[in-house]
C-alpha cells in the first residue's frame, strides 16, 4: 500500500515530522498567504486540531503542502479544510 502513495522522487514523513518541517518551511517563505501560516492554523483550530500533508523530493525540499483540519461532524471524525 505504501508504494501506491510514494513515488521514486518523494518520501513520506510522519505527522510530527511533517508539522515541524512545515513550520520550518514557513520561516523561509513569508510571502505565502496568512491562511497557510502555522500560527493562523493554531489560532483558528479551536475545537479541533490541524495537521499538514506534504511531499518532499529526494533532497528534502517540500514539493507540495496541504494543511487540513480534524474535527467532529455528526458524531464522526471529519477531515476538512482549515477554518
Which three-class secondary structure state does DSSP give residue 23? helix
Q: What is the pLDDT of residue 76?
A: 92
Whole-number Å distance between alpha carbons of 52 and 14: 10
If phi > 0 it is left, if psi is from -120 to 50 it is alpha, else beta; for residue 73 that is beta
Q: How does pLDDT run along the chain (83 residues), one tens digit per residue? A: 444 445 555 555 566 778 888 899 888 888 888 888 898 998 888 767 899 988 888 888 888 888 999 888 899 988 888 87
Which residues on neighbouring strands pair with residue 69, listed in sequence order? Answer: 50, 80
State pTM to two decimals.
Answer: 0.70
pLDDT at 2: 45
Q: Helices in 1-83 by DSSP H: which ranges?
A: 2-5, 15-28, 38-44
Amino acid at each position: 500500500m505504501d508504494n501506491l502513495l510514494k513515488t521514486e522522487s518523494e518520501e513520506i514523513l510522519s505527522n510530527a515530522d511533517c508539522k515541524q518541517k512545515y513550520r520550518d518551511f514557513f520561516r523561509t517563505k513569508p510571502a505565502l498567504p496568512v491562511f497557510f501560516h502555522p500560527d493562523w492554523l493554531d489560532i483558528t483550530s479551536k475545537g479541533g486540531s490541524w495537521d499538514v500533508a506534504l511531499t518532499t523530493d529526494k533532497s528534502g525540499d517540500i514539493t507540495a503542502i496541504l494543511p487540513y483540519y480534524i474535527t467532529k461532524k455528526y458524531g464522526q471524525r471529519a477531515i476538512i479544510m482549515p477554518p
